[in-house]
Structure 1
Amino acid sequence: MAGGRRFYADGFNAYWLMYMASNPADRSKVVDVLEQASRLGATVVRTWAFSDGQGSDRPLQITPGVYNEQVFVGLDFVIAEAKKRGIYLILSLVNNMESFGGKKQYVKWARDRGHYLGSDDDFFSDALTQQFYKNHIKRMITRVNTFTRVAYKDEPTIFAWELMNEPRVPSDLSGKTMERWVASMSAYVKYVDPKHMVEIGMEGFYGESTPERKRFNPGQGYTAGTDFVSNNRIPTVDFATIHVYPDQWMPGSSSQAQVEFTKRWMASHIEDAGKALRKPLLVAEFGWSARSGGYTVAARDGYFRMVYDAIYASVKGNGPCAGGLFWHVMAPGMESWTDGYDVVFERSPTTAAVVSQECAKIDRFTPAV
């Protein structure tokens, strides 16, 4: 739901928007990508609202509670420009991985204060790291945009807060550590900001609450201490997410095996979102890497169509799937940032056409204001 009406989220990830917008000379890249999103009919863009520690290039949070105003103004700019174009944003609050700081940086900060932490997974249970993170949540949500003069907690352009990008706790495969953390932090976000939705940021691995569903995981090593069903049942989580990366999760497997996995992965999660969770499901990341064997742009376009077809079938049947965001869009001139998954629309007109067609199909199911 958005503005009290049924809403479907179609768009993409562009994690770098705040980073680029923090330098006025790079803001044209942000504007160009948001303009493209608008022209294609995209409704939602997912991006980072974090960059932690002095080891990060252009950090947002330099040390706990100490922020780089120039980078915060960059995020203000992103929100203001998205608002002009009617595009919603999902803002992710911290990374599970080390890039842009992540939970590793929070653990380092706690160690610097004298806390003994055995692993980066202690981020989820240590009192000090949790307080650092809650302080970041509050600072982010109560920020007043320097362009719009609207507090983030009152900004309708923000579609949802994401607790973490791809959280994992491999040191506790029961899923209980993650469940306690999600319950605590999602409740805190709702306390500070009761207006916006909250989602976890999970990839979708099944866990101990549904052992019979673990057969849909890409392998035994992919429970990752998360539990798609029990973690997303938490009342302060508004909708579930999954990511889809068979080329990463099933290295060495054939393209056909990866396609078949994707079909099963999406079907099982759409079913569980409707029956077990009774919540919407967003396919928050999916992609096909140029570094994968047998990659061609045509193959990527076909993969996108397959994912979109599954989303569309759910939408058309009044099912729980609420849309999809592919990973990811970059602007021209960002070649050094490539990870193989990036789409530059100017160089990929067929992919742009596939995305635009999906947005148009899904838009027909969104009631007019």
Structure 2
Amino acid sequence: MASLLPSIALLLLTLPFPSISTSTSYITRHASALYLTTPNSPTNSPTNTSTRFTASGANIYWLGLDENVIPPPSTPPAPFYAPLNASYPTRGRITEAMSTVKIMGATTVRSQTLGVSVGNPLSVMPKLGEVNEGAWESMDWAVREAGRVGLRVFAPLTDNYDYYHGGKFVFLRWRGIDIGSAGSNIDPLVQQFYTNRTIIDDFKNYIRILLTHRNQFTNLTYAEDPTIFAYETGNELGGPTFGDKDVPAVWTHEILSYVKELAPTKLTIDGTYGINAEHLNLSSVDIFSDHFYPMDVDKLSAGVELVAGTDKVYLAAEYGWTPQTQSKTPMSEFFAWIEQRQNHFWSYFGHNVPDCKTFVDHNDGLALQYGNPKNPVNYTTQISKIRQHLFKMQGIAVDETLPPAPCPGN
């Protein structure tokens, strides 16, 4: 194991934290390590104004567009698309989420809907080439609030599945290829997303619209804003068969090169579900990642071994945190293995702000509700372990206490 460490980045922070402003510093990669770097420092090497950075925290997929809350009656009525149960999260919910995961020890947040927003009336792009200006507010507020509390954000640019916020199947439908994502085997025409030049150009145009958007709260484009430190080709991308990693290297390189062309300070993540050996030598990739359901140290170590020698960063971008997701590897063993690496639990939910008495539920059984008095004892124990782990990733020891997280109300 020791021989692998240089290739996957030992990212423990040394305290005290250097006085680098989160509003002006960038996350950069040098070989297999990430650094917090001032703007005038070279991006290809660390300097005495740089410090190691740990990317660890939470998946909060709903920050741009939600599927869990029906807005209460109001005049005028809040935007809501009933067929997909889609609505915009309130500013209070977003503010509480950022404050809470910061209290938990997070340094970063991964959010699908800060990058994927196509195909329904509340999306950034409801129809091909059409931009819905009303969709930006919740996204802009999320980026603003992340920066305010000192968190960094990264987001996938599309989704492997046909969810409410859209993904590759929407781009296919826009060009007359109407197939669904249900089941483990899908029509081979799904590969047209990666190979059809018209569809690739449609996707790149969407990326351009996203990265050149100017945030109404920060006056920075998403390409300029250092709070957004990376973009990912997609969430759990694959081909016709689930888990096949069938994502062409030429497509991955083209998309990530385009991201770097539009946003030279951004890091890039290969969003293939698993480590595709054919992508290891792509110069456009900064970070490789994988997801863990259940927690699985064997799978984790195998992925790290594949990335070894590439001088790239390895990221555990999702893991299930509940007792049920520890059937293969206990949380304590999984955390011990990745203590000096980067990881994000799935998924955080808070109060239905401005209602500070009711928590938002999600139907996958993996919603982490920090501070919910209805949490079973074993869930509270797991949340405490996650908090201790996230702080340990920063070189900080905390006890099992869960400090209260304020609900912002109105």
TM-score (norm 1): 0.76
How far apart, CA to CA, are the structure 2 residues paired with 1:92 and 1:50? Answer: 7
Q: Is the 8 A contact 1:90 1:160 kept in 2?
A: yes
How far apart, CA to CA, are the structure 1 residues paired with 2:243 and 2:381? Answer: 42
2:319 match = 286
Alignment of 1:1-369 (within 5 A): 1-4=34-37, 5-20=51-66, 26-48=90-112, 49-54=115-120, 58-99=122-163, 100-111=165-176, 119-170=189-240, 178-205=248-275, 227=276, 229-246=277-294, 262-275=296-309, 277-288=310-321, 295=324, 303-312=330-339, 315=340, 322-333=341-352, 335=360, 337-347=362-372, 348-364=379-395
Report the CA distance shift for 1:243/1:9 in structure 2 as closer, same or farther (over 3 A).
Answer: same
Q: Is the 8 A contact 2:319 2:344 kept in 1?
A: yes
Report the CA distance shift for 1:77/1:265 in structure 2 as closer, same or farther (over 3 A).
Answer: same
Shift of 1:349: 3.3
> SS at the partner of 1:61?
coil
> SS at the partner of 1:81?
helix
> SS at the partner of 2:176?
helix
Q: Is the 8 A contact 2:211 2:222 kept in 1?
A: yes
After superposition, give the CA deviation of every residue in 1:136-195 in whole Å (9 maximum; x if it has no partner): 111111111000101111111012001110110137999675211101111111111111
Greater percentage in helix: 1
Shift of 1:120: 2.3
How far apart, CA to CA, are the structure 2 residues paired with 1:103 and 1:142? Answer: 21
Q: Is the 8 A contact 2:287 2:315 kept in 1?
A: yes
Q: Which amino acid aligns with 1:305?
A: S
Report the CA distance shift for 1:174/1:44 in structure 2 as closer, same or farther (over 3 A).
Answer: closer
How far apart, CA to CA, are the structure 2 residues paired with 1:185 and 1:19? Answer: 24
Report the CA distance shift for 1:327/1:171 in structure 2 as closer, same or farther (over 3 A).
Answer: closer
Q: Is the 8 A contact 1:345 1:351 kept in 2?
A: no
Report the CA distance shift for 1:105/1:84 in structure 2 as closer, same or farther (over 3 A).
Answer: same
How far apart, CA to CA, are the structure 1 residues paired with 2:274 and 2:291? Answer: 7
Report the CA distance shift for 1:174/1:15 in structure 2 as closer, same or farther (over 3 A).
Answer: closer
Q: Is the 8 A contact 2:111 2:154 kept in 1?
A: yes
How far apart, CA to CA, are the structure 1 residues paired with 2:242 and 2:195? Answer: 11
After superposition, give the CA deviation of every residue in 1:202-226 in whole Å (9 maximum; x if it has no partner): 2215xxxxxxxxxxxxxxxxxxxxx
1:212 match = none
What percentage of residue pairs aligned between the two structures are identical? 24
> SS at the partner of 2:218?
coil
Shift of 1:231: 1.5
Report the CA distance shift for 1:308/1:124 in structure 2 as closer, same or farther (over 3 A).
Answer: same
1:218 match = none
